[in-house]
Amino acid sequence: MLPGESARVRVAEIGRKGRFVRADLLEVLTASAHRVEPPCRFAGPGQCGGCDFQHVEVGEQRRLKAAVVAEQLRRLGGVDDLSGVWSGEVEALPDPVVAMPGLRWRTRVRFAVDAAGRAGLRRHRSHEVVPIDDCLIAHEGVDVVEVTGTSWPGVEEVSVQVDPASGDRDVTVGRGHGSEVLTMVAAGRSWQVSSGGFWQVHPDAADVLVEAVMSFAAPRDGERLVDLYAGVGVFSGVWGARCGGPVEVVEGDHRAAGDAFTNLADLSGVEVHSEAVEDFVASGAVSADVVVLDPPRVGAKQAVVDGVAAWGARAVVYVACDPAALARDVRYFAASGYRLTALRAFDLFPMTHHLECVALLEPVEVGGE
């Protein structure tokens, strides 16, 4: 449902101690002016659960996401006043197909396979597989029909990742890793990404996030960067090429750390640590002028935040895919003397409730009271 709507619903779940109620929509009685017909015929109650915002006009999707970011920062982060910190806008990325706003952007799709060997996508809040012959948010290079039109007996899932620049594809069967190594291009460099490794799924996401991170970090010649949850080393590579200072790269996934080692081999002063961020932070004192961290959806959590704050960096740039986790970590940083001073939000995942934020945290004596 959208704000201002009335509807008939069926309660599906009541949270512990009544903290939330989840319901299924039966009938819209009073519709919002922003409600639209979903472009995908597989979207909607009881169907594919991949896109929860297809019934919402694209611009309104971003406004709703902005409201969530503000509310989470206020309620969980203790940040009541965002004036001078954030414009309040969730910024749109270019549409890969101009005539299809909010669609055809997803370069990596994971298909579930049922007991009969039929590939499709999961039904909303279910493990049941919905057979499909297209996915409108999937990049055209994914070739949905090739996957769903093939029988996959004895397989649990099939993942497809495409490089939109070259058209190269990696198909991973089951929960293992495929054989392909893709070469992605972003920020003026080429990046090796091993099969099954992480790369942003929107074609423009890497470039947009690099620009935002570097704008907040404002690299200065010779400064030391510590890059946590570094993935294949994109932020480290751009930093090293721009200011030439020493870089500590920390990534817990051994495949991604191996890719980072390859991707950064041409840069001097770069050290790649293939270990969990929590272990690296707990191992002792680190000198850092700037810290960049891009944690998983659960956030960095307090132990990592406290350790990072103890390094005394002039700037901490935090990339977040979950506004609630970001807000909790912002509160932890505040308790350790760092204040949120700038924020940008990006609609990297149109037609869904997900988004990406980039936050700048600075020592209170720099950011002010």
Read off the pLDDT of residues 310-366 as tens digits, 9 standing for 90 and up.
Answer: 999 999 999 999 999 999 999 999 999 999 999 999 999 999 999 999 999 999 986
Assign domain 60-96+187-191+199-367 to its CATH architecture. 3-Layer(aba) Sandwich (3.40)
Query: Token pair 């954030």 is at which residue?
Result: 86
**367: closest CA among 342, 343, 344?**
342
The pTM for the full model equals 0.94
Distance (Å) of CA 234 to CA 119, 154, 224, 274, 358: 33, 37, 16, 15, 15
Told to judge if 321 belongs to the known catalytic residues of this protein, a careful annotator would answer yes
Annotated domain spans of the chain: 1-33, 60-96+187-191+199-367, 108-186
pLDDT by residue, tens only, the chain of 369 residues: 899 999 999 998 898 888 889 888 899 999 999 999 999 999 988 899 999 999 999 999 999 999 999 999 999 999 999 999 999 999 999 999 999 999 999 999 999 999 999 999 999 889 999 999 999 999 999 999 999 999 999 999 999 999 888 888 888 898 765 567 889 999 999 999 987 778 999 999 999 999 999 999 999 999 999 999 999 999 999 999 998 889 999 999 999 999 999 999 999 999 999 999 999 999 987 889 999 999 999 999 999 999 999 999 999 999 999 999 999 999 999 999 999 999 999 999 999 999 999 999 999 986 555
298 CB burial (10 A radius; 0-12, 13-18, 19+)? exposed
Helix ranges (DSSP H) in 58-178:
58-75, 144-148
Burial zone of 11 (CB within 10 Å; 0-12 exposed, 13-18 middle, 19+ buried): exposed
Read off the tokens for 267: 């840069």
The first and second tokens of residue 104, run together, are 């055809």
**Rounded to whole angstroms, what are the CA distances from 268 to 82, 193, 221, 239, 271?**
39, 21, 14, 12, 9
What CA–CA distance (Å, rounded) separates 53 from 350? Answer: 8
C-alpha 316/C-alpha 290 separation (Å) is 6
Separation CA 76–CA 333 (nearest Å):
12
What one-letter code names the amino acid at 66? A
Report the share of the chain in percent with pLDDT over 70.
98
User: What is residue 225's DSSP assignment?
Assistant: E
User: What pLDDT, on the 0 to 100 scale, is given for residue 180?
Assistant: 73
| Other CB atoms within 10 Å distance of the CB of residue 284 | 7
Give the containing element (helix H, strand E) for 13: strand 6-14
DSSP H helices, 40-180, are 58-75, 144-148
Q: For residues 222 and 243, what is the distance between their CA atoms, to the nearest angstrom?
A: 6
Question: Quick count: other Cβ atoms within 10 Å of Cβ 91?
Answer: 16
pLDDT digits 0-9 by tens, 154-188? 999 999 999 888 888 888 898 765 567 889 999 99
E strands, 99-219, in order: 108-113, 119-122, 129-131, 157-162, 169-173, 181-186, 189-194
Please tell me the distance from the alpha carbon of residue 27 to that of residue 24, in angstroms, as a whole number: 9
How far apart CA 333 and CA 343 sit, in angstroms, is 15
**Annotated catalytic residue: which of 40, 48, 135, 321?**
321
Bridge partners for 193 per DSSP: 182
Q: What's the start-to-end Cα distance of the chain, in Å?
A: 39
Q: For residue 22, give the amino acid letter.
A: R
Pairing of strands 247-250, 270-273: parallel
